[in-house]
Structure 1
């Protein structure tokens, strides 16, 4: 009986090690790192990548590949306590700069003082045209546990989801800018956004609480890897799940719920920002 117990224990240990090795590939295989990035396993055997922010630097994960359309998701556990001035992000970008050749799709988590909601800022840039933010007060404590954040990007629309709940869909119109031609990298970052993040920059980071930590795990993608200029992208076997995905009735219900109960900023209602008229998609949506 004792030998059998030892054998069973050995099998269990090997299975756990195999699971751990498998879990590590999302970080090792998919991303490069910058700054202070630490990797460890949680109690459930998930590989957790912890990004550190201090006075000297933030940190980031940057995909090794570029993609032209896909479904991208990650679980994040954000800064505990006073997170004012910090910004944790999960986003796609075609590269640095805000020029006419720049595209970007953002999910940015704007830190706040203890007890106040963390704000999720969603935004879309196309050919350097941005300023399309919808902001939502998260309806849970994003530092208490991991939650999944998802971007679905195809030729028809961009869908933003929190724990599989659709909070926004940005629709493509043929006569308006839309990110549909520039391959983009996936980034997960943690940085000092004191100039902007909390109450329009009025509340800065309290550096006496540094270093700060935000954690990511469970990265998943179903996407088309860009093969370079003039070459067709290589799409994985899961593309049928998202390639033609658009906002349906269930999505419209949750979008309306998020707008009614959680939205704290809508660019299509900011007349001060657009004194000459709102962007073209505002009237159509």
Structure 2
């Protein structure tokens, strides 16, 4: 078999798997505001917050289903009042969104990770956890896996949250809107640290979050294609088989289920499903979610 033919076969296999990204920021993403708050050092992107502005970036394309990953080293030292976010979102008032929000801390206190899921413009599904490592000392991977059966939030490939498709129970699931990939750093001292009691200390600015290892493996959705057609095009059929539609990815495996149980038992500090003050009657999906 010729070398050229082997290359053609490999490229064809990658195309069948979806969009397999490189790890270069500028091939996948672009700054969306405050470009003077970005610095580049080799493969590492740094984004800063000061008392003039935060900063943010967005993917150049939108996707439906797949997995997105970025490696982040969070703001060191006293980061109280700051929020660093990594998320996927569609557009419009009835948008869908999957959020990682890293809530700054006072020196010596643990970072809190808040996750949230919006479906058809409705959020208020917050969970918060402490991490089992110091996320300011080194890069760690944060991923969102999305298919027609579930949304999985992963930290260093450990699942920390699952949002399952419960359409058979009459609960809407986000699967009909293409989503962009975003990150930002901004001042949120009205709520981010201890409910807003601890404010941002600007004498410690600039606050810098560092990024590397950008990966997007998903189905690209051109803006010119209708949502229904994107759903059909990005789902497995007779012509294509996408990895995210394989049965092995439709739910957590046994090891992942045990990991999630461990995270919830040892690191979760808030779950909206248990907040009877906010929700005297548990939200309907909480009555059905196993996790």
TM-score (norm 1): 0.84
Distance 2:60 2:241 in 1: 20
Distance 2:278 2:112 in 1: 20
Deviation track 1:114-167 (CA, whole Å, cap 9, x = no partner) reads: 111101111100001111111111111101000001100111000111101111
Distance 1:185 1:87 in 2: 19
Shift of 1:232: 3.4
Hey, which bits of structure 1, 4+ residues long, moved more than 3 A? 230-241
Q: Quick one: which of 181, 186, 204 aligns to 1:186?
A: 181
Q: 1:178 to 1:64 in 2, by over 3 A?
A: same
Deviation track 1:162-211 (CA, whole Å, cap 9, x = no partner) reads: 10111111101111122111111100111111111111111111011111
Q: Quick one: which of 73, 77, 98 aligns to 1:77?
A: 73
Aligned-residue CA RMSD (Å): 2.1
List aligned pairs for 1:192-203, cutoff 5 A.
192-203=187-198
The answer as to 2:245 corresponding to 1:243 is yes
Give the match's secondary structure for 1:28. helix
Unaligned runs of 5+ in 1: 1-22, 42-46
Residues 69 and 214 of structure 2 are in contact (CA less than 8 Å); yes or no, is this contact kept in structure 1? yes
Distance 2:118 2:214 in 1: 23
Aligned residues: 254
Deviation track 1:63-101 (CA, whole Å, cap 9, x = no partner) reads: 1101111100010000000011111111001136xx3x1
List aligned pairs for 1:1-285, cutoff 5 A.
26-33=24-31, 34-35=33-34, 36-41=37-42, 47-95=43-91, 99=93, 101-174=94-167, 175-227=170-222, 228-229=225-226, 231-232=229-230, 240-244=242-246, 245=249, 246-275=251-280, 277-285=281-289
Unaligned runs of 5+ in 2: 1-20
Distance 1:68 1:240 in 2: 12
TM-score (norm 2): 0.82
Deviation track 1:206-257 (CA, whole Å, cap 9, x = no partner) reads: 0111111001100111101112215436659997443341212111101110
Shift of 1:24: 8.4
